Amino acid sequence: LEKYQVNLLLLDDGTPIRKEAEKSAQWEKIFRDIVGALFIKKSPENRHIIDSVLKLKYPNTAFGYFSRAFAYGKKGMLNEGIKELKAGLLIDPKEPDLHNALGRFYNAKHELDNAIIYYKKAVELEPERFLAARRNLAVAYEKKGMFKEAMDEYEIIVKLNPESNTGLKAKKSIQRLKK
């Protein structure tokens, strides 16, 4: 990291340099979302930037609510997670990740009708990109015995991205449902 003569780094999740920045005493993570994180070099000149950004951090962002919901989910506190996700939707009602996460929380509570509502909204917001939400929707349809609807979703996934991990799983699901 020291070879870079920069004050800010925007790093994707999982990159080796990201792991190095997280361990370094010279860099401070000032923002994180589902894609990556923003780091700033610790220095007296940058202190005011760090202080300003840290005040903005999570509480009033859709991702802040998403992060807390994820933590609640890990603890099995599904109702609390649902409250956090719904609060996030008040800030950003068009964020598909929040809708998909709500679907997953309701699915975990075996409330499939609610899960389907939120999965459908996530798919509606990002019909071609969000294959995971579409697969979650297909699985929820299957659990409800709505096999035609499940098959339709799996076929769309295969059409959009047949060689992706989600596409390959959809192909297997189609074969299974045809039996």
Q: What is the pLDDT of residues 116-159, one digit of tens each?
A: 999 999 999 999 888 999 999 999 999 999 999 999 999 999 99
Quick one: CA dihedral 92, 97, 103, 106, positive or negative? negative
Q: What is the pLDDT of residues 52-101, one digit of tens each?
A: 544 445 566 788 788 778 778 877 889 999 998 999 999 999 999 999 99
Q: For residue 26, what are the β-bridge partners?
A: none
HSE-up of residue 34 (Cα within 13 Å, Cβ side): 14
